[in-house]
Amino acid sequence: MNIVLLLGGHIFNKIRKGELEEIKKITNLLRRLLRDGNRIAVVAGGGGLAREYIDLSEKLGAPKAVQDIIGIEATRLNAMILISALSDISYPCVPSSYEEAVKGFSSKGLVIMGGIAPAQSTDAVAAVMAELTRADILIKASEKGGVYERDPNEDPNARKYERMTYDELEKIILEKKFLPGRYDLLDYLALLILRRSNIPLAIVPPNAESIEKALKGEITGTLVT
């Protein structure tokens, strides 16, 4: 399988706190997947690190494009942390372009990357990589772990959708704000890319078990097709 895995910032927030158990499980899973002949592109989110520096730059008067660039650098730092745990099997650098990312994907079978360009979230980066690599699935491992009818942080009883179409997801996304470093569900550009190429998207909880289940067709979050 060709797999694109988007690791949300929640995972890297844990790493910054020294909570390494889950990321070790994820890296072990990546090793097994690579051993089994899969090829994987991992895209790292920015998380709290990106938001902290974006907020600081905003207070200092930075334009939105500069805030985006700061967020990109944070995602690349998170990607480098992940590379440090997989340096013996992964492409050794964080790609600065899609061309380099595809070369790393083809040559090593495992490439780990962050953001690429301003005004483009890591959601969109993952979607573009899914197109370029003809991915069988894009898995987004994020804190919410699925698509809900309402924000589950505000309404614990909000219903989670097990399956939905991209058209249905679009209606929810269009209600969201588009600000640097803040793409809670999925940004609109990513949706357009995935829909035009008919790539399945699984939004799952940020843990190795949920990621592995998604690859077996057992979605613990939401499957979008």
Q: Give the tens place of pLDDT for each residue, 118-177.
A: 988 999 999 999 999 999 999 999 988 898 887 777 777 888 899 999 999 998 888 765
The whole-number pLDDT of residue 187 equals: 86
CATH 3.40.190.10 fits domain 2-224: no
Cα–Cα nearest to 135, from 190, 199, 178, 186: 199
Q: Are the C-beta atoms of 133 and 196 separated by less than 8 Å?
A: no
- Number of other residues whose CB lies within 10 A of the CB of residue 89: 13
Task: Report domain extents, the chain.
Answer: 2-224
**What token pair was written down for 167?**
């058209």
Q: Is the pLDDT of residue 180 over 60?
A: no
Structure-token match 């520096």, residue found? 53
The whole-number pLDDT of residue 178 equals: 47
The whole-number pLDDT of residue 184 equals: 62
The tens digit of pLDDT for each residue in 13-63 reads: 999 999 999 999 999 999 999 999 999 999 999 988 989 999 999 999 999
The whole-number pLDDT of residue 38 equals: 98
Q: Are the C-beta atoms of 46 and 7 separated by less than 8 Å?
A: no
Between 180 and 212, the higher pLDDT residue: 212
How many Å apart are CA 80 and CA 35, to the nearest integer?
22
Our measurement of the distance from residue 100's CA atom to the centroid of its chain's CA atoms, rounded to an integer in Å, reads 18
The whole-number pLDDT of residue 157 equals: 81
Classify residue 121 by its DSSP letter.
-
pLDDT band for position 221 (cuts 50, 70, 90): very high
The tens digit of pLDDT for each residue in 74-131 reads: 999 999 999 999 999 999 999 999 999 999 999 999 999 999 999 889 999 999 999 9
> Coil, strand, or helix at residue 154?
coil
